[in-house]
A and B are shown apart, each in its own frame.
Chain A
Amino acid sequence: MTAMSSVAPDAAALGHDPAARRRLGNALLVLVLLWPLLQLAEFRPAALFEAGNLAVMTGFLAGFMPPERSPEFLGMLLKATLETLAIATAGITLALLLAAPLAVIATRALSVSRIGNGPGRHRGMALRGACRVLMTILRAIPEIVWALMFVRVLGLGPAAGVLALAITYGGMLGKVYTEILESTDTRPARALLESGSGRLAALVYGLIPNAAQELTSYTVYRWECAVRASVIMGFVGAGGLGQLMDQSMKMLNGGEASSILLVFLLLVLLADAISAGLRKALA
């Protein structure tokens, strides 16, 4: 049979894995490419363990002890935490509104025209390409740059941070949603499209039931990232934990900084719990 004769019969007859040589070649290629990159990044892990450097690091970390616990500071910390949560949540919500339609347009899993090269395939391909380029642009520009731009328009405050998060994270969410929808089992959606259902119906009946868990955990993970990104937002006066962190670091107050870091740890744990809970609910 034609299909079978295409896999090198002589190698198979000898009991060799015909793919082994290519696998070894690829592994060597990766190493050859990686080595100059490590050189370029001045990657010398041994430096970490030289006596002088160890002392410097210990000194730096000792400055963070003990964490600041005065009621006055804790009050400020609570207010800043709520602000940060508000910025991250508002930013992710806007990002979601931006990402969901982009992902639905860009994903190949919902392309009707790809089925048997139907009518409108060139237009569909162009539209998907345009969406991908748009999402690339949105996420290629770091949120801090968007924030600096919006600060000029909207003035100092959380609004600039929220918009900056919405745009960058909109691009990231859209890209990853697109790929999640393509890597789940796409046959149910394709079968629906093949029997004449619309894209939206194929999405909610065919793809979402399989992909809901992945989509949710990635979204919650991005919310967690948005909480951390608000540190950077603090530098442009977006308020919240970032601004507090900025002040503490400028005043070289290690105790305050470590209290703030403990709050970050708690928020990440919270995000984990939310994610686990939602995954369980969607299982």
Chain B
Amino acid sequence: MSFVTHQLGLVHGNGLRALHGLDLSLARGERVAVIGPSGAGKTSLIRLLGCALRPSSGRVELLGHNPWQLSAAELRRLRARIGTIHQAPPIPPRLRVVTAILAGRLGSWPAWKGLASLLYPADIAGAQRVLARLDLADRLFDRCDRLSGGQLQRVGIARVLYQQPELILADEPVSALDPTLADAAIGQIVADAERRGAGVLASLHAVDLALKWFPRVIGLRGGEVVFDLPAARVDTAMLRELYASEGSVVPTQANDPALLHALGDAETGTTDDRVVRLDSCRGRG
């Protein structure tokens, strides 16, 4: 299993209850999208699954280990097998794109290699390959503060693709991308995970993206699971109910309800058919 949680709960330091009694699991190679209104606990869930927070109650098992019973060295090795795509890419602006991407493997490289790679990039070709998939190959040696918000977000995705984790956690990974690019970037994450048999859990703001790319969708509201269903069985009434606190407006990329209907019962083809050619979006985002 990628992960299993038992009655997982999280209470923040200020007493705010973020998550309550979650029983979730994800098989190896399975993909699931988490949707829900803001404040639903999506980010908290991702931080718990990324060993960045310790649960207040219940327990979590990641790639067959209970992270909080491991020794420091074992926990470090486990963390290196999990890759988190952050909504705001945690990349220092002065870093070059190539360095920011190669940093993805710092968890598996020996310390000397990480240091030596600052003197001369250790794997230019590898970084180039990953970046090309996100149509940024020509920005390899640019500094990150020369990139737009959307480009930086794609560099953040490229870092995690380069890390090659067994479990990919993505926290609103395409929030700064326009619809075409967002679709293509999610497609690349999915294609990479399928190729390597990695599990994916992604929180998404746009419900249409979730229904298109993820066979399974979890609806989260107020820190509790509202539904956990195959994408084909998620209907409009459930979504309206999920987003009741936001005026029952179901957020989509183009904010076009018709799009949602079209996608809701779209049958799923093979990944390659659906991956949008990124070259067609050059110069955007």
Contact = CB atoms under 8 A, between A and B. Distances in A.
Contact of A200 (B15, B52, B79, B111): B111
A119 B71 contact: yes
B182 interface: no
Contacts of A6: 14
Contacts of A202: 106
Given A2-B15, A112-B72, A204-B118, A194 B94 contact: no
What is the size category of the interface that chain A forms with chain B? 20 to 34
A204 to B, nearest CB: 6
A39 interface: no
B84 A194 contact: yes
With most chain A CB atoms within 10 A of its CB, the pick from B39, B82, B111 is B111
A210 B17 CA distance: 34
B108 A196 contact: yes
Given A185-B92, A209-B94, A209-B95, A194 B118 contact: no
Nearest to B52: A194
B22 to A, nearest CB: 17
Interface in A81-140: 112-113, 115-120
A116 B54 contact: yes
Interface string B56-77: 0000000000001011100111
B126 interface: no
B94 A210 contact: yes
B24 interface: no
B111 A201 contact: yes
Interface in A188-217: 188, 190-198, 200-202, 204-206, 209-210, 212
A187 B106 contact: no
A193 B51 CA distance: 10
A200 B115 contact: yes
Contacts of A113: 72
A109 to B, nearest CB: 13
B114 to A, nearest CB: 4
B219 interface: no
Nearest to B73: A119
A206 B80 CA distance: 16
Contacts of A116: 51-54, 68
A177 B51 CA distance: 28
Contact of A196 (B39, B99, B107): B107
A3 interface: yes
What is the size category of the interface that chain B forms with chain A? 35 or more
A185 B70 CA distance: 29
B80 A196 contact: yes
Nearest to A206: B92
Nearest to A124: B72
Contact of A188 (B72, B92, B118): B92
Contact of A205 (B82, B83, B86, B95): B95
B106 A198 contact: yes
Interface in A1-27: 1-3, 6
Contacts of A118: 54, 68, 72, 75
A77 B163 CA distance: 59
Nearest to A113: B72
With most chain B CB atoms within 10 A of its CB, the pick from A3, A112, A194, A196 is A196
Given A3-B16, A117-B54, A194 B70 contact: no
Contacts of A191: 84, 86, 90
A205 B106 contact: yes
B224 to A, nearest CB: 15
B218 interface: no
A58 B163 CA distance: 71
A190 B111 contact: no
Contacts of A206: 90, 92, 103
Interface in A129-169: none
A201 B80 contact: no
A32 B205 CA distance: 53
B68 A192 contact: no
A196 B103 contact: no
18 contacts: A2-B15, A3-B14, A118-B75, A185-B92, A191-B84, A191-B86, A192-B103, A192-B107, A194-B50, A194-B51, A194-B52, A195-B106, A196-B80, A197-B80, A197-B103, A200-B114, A209-B94, A212-B94
Given A115-B51, A116-B53, 10 more contacts: A2-B15, A3-B14, A119-B75, A191-B86, A194-B51, A195-B80, A195-B82, A196-B78, A196-B108, A205-B103
Q: Which 6 A-B residue pairings sit nearest by Cβ, starting from the closest?
A: A196-B107, A196-B80, A197-B106, A196-B79, A191-B90, A209-B92
